[in-house]
Amino acid sequence: MKELNQEDWQEKLKNDDDAVILDVRTEEEVEEGYIPDSKNIDIYKGQGFINEVEKLDKSKHYYIYCRSGKRSSQACTLLDQMGFSETYNLLGGFSEWEGETAHN
The yes or no reply on domain 2-96 and CATH 3.40.50.300 is no
The catalytic residues are: 66
pLDDT of residue 56: 98
Nearest 5°: CA angle at 42, between 6 and 82? Answer: 80
Banded model confidence at residue 104, pLDDT cuts 50, 70, 90: confident
CA 51 to chain centre: 16
Query: Mean pLDDT over residues 48-54, rounded?
Result: 98
| pTM of the complete model beyond 0.95 | yes
pLDDT of residue 24: 98
Evaluate if residue 50 carries a pLDDT over 90: yes
Alpha-carbon distance 35 to 33, whole Å? 7
- DSSP class of residue 46? T
Banded model confidence at residue 70, pLDDT cuts 50, 70, 90: very high
